[in-house]
Amino acid sequence: MRRVFVLNGVNLGRLGIREPEIYGHVSHAQLAEHLVATGQGLGLDVEVRQSDVEAEMISWLHQASDESIPVVINAGAWTHSSHAIGDAVRDVPFLLEVHISNIFARESFRHDSVISASAQGVIVGMGLAGYDYALAHIAAMLG
């Protein structure tokens, strides 16, 4: 099975608690369990990681680059502000950006992404199902 990282950034560890009207009631642990099972069904070895520490996220992106691991990333607010993460994603061989909410229907600062230019695709506003779509796309691309 092909290894894939699902990397969730700042505040996403609070899924199910923080703004459930936007992000839903599913916890990060429940999402991770679901994505691992979904990945197995697609022939993928999914590792779900979450951090509120920017340096840790950058280390994971460097690991993905060094080991040619495809990445699904939801960097949370770092999407709009972290040029360090924007630099780190440039070397990832296959990257899909996911956002649970429709960032274009929210505050204007959320409309810009430092990640999108390096991503092979961006999934926005599809709820947690966006992660499933990303994993299915990676499985299809890997053949």
Could you list the active site residues?
23, 99
Measure CA 23 to chain center.
14
Total residue count of the chain as it appears in this document: 143
Q: 20 vs 14, 30, 58, 118, 127, CA distance in Å? A: 10, 14, 27, 30, 11
Cβ–Cβ under 8 Å, residues 48 and 72: no
